[in-house]
Amino acid sequence: MASMASSSLLDLAPVLPVVVIEDAADAVPLARALVAGGLPAIEVTLRTPAALDALRAIADEVSGAVVGVGTVLTPGQVKEAVAAGAGFLVSPGWTDLLLESMQGSGVPFLPGVSTTSEVVALLERGVREMKFFPAAAAGGTAYLRSLAGPLPQARFCPTGGIGIDSAPDYLALPNVGCVGGSWMIPADAVAARDWGRIEALAREAAALSAGGTCR
């Protein structure tokens, strides 16, 4: 696994693939396809029993990957993920207890927000980089654009309901560093182990850089 050359997870690539892995045997070839396509940061969600095994395999075997975990909900999951080799942590939301655990983990993290008050609360606690989730349902680009004026110090990785067509609109915003999504990992391609197709879709996603905000 590569180390983070950038000081910010938001600056590694315009798109952060959000990966749900059912079979740990798929982890390494899937991650290699994403990295080859230009998406080195990979979020493995803790939604399946295979997630931590998949994380370990990618961390051990995929050169150039910066692999982390998403759907982090508890301090226990923070500890398990870091012990398994997570290079970053992403949560759909946050509490003081979860935030304290992520801050003490020693790896970068993106706590999830969907309201202005949550953003202000994180800024108050010294956190400036956040996941905006669920992006489309929570107000999309219009909401994020409205936050840029009063809260310019906050930067976001919006995730949830974003695809290849809408991603450039998010990336054009001054307070968006990258977007999260899974459109480059279609379920039928994974089932068919069509890693070439996934690599091609990853390359298309990696080419997104509207507004120059992600490089």
- Residues with catalytic roles: 43, 131
Q: What is the 3-state secondary structure (H, E, C) of the chain?
A: CCCCCCCCHHHCCCEEEEECCCCHHHHHHHHHHHHHCCCCEEEEECCCCCHHHHHHHHHHHCCCCEEEEECCCCHHHHHHHHHCCCCCEECCCCCHHHHHHHHCCCCCEECEECCHHHHHHHHHCCCCEEEECCCCCCCHHHHHHHHHCCCCCCEEEEECCCCCCCHHHHHCCCCECCEEECCCCCHHHHHCCCHHHHHHHHHHHHCCCHHHCCC
Using the Cα atoms of residue 84, residue 87, residue 93 and residue 96 in order, give the sign of their dihedral. Answer: positive
Tokens 């012990």 found at: 83
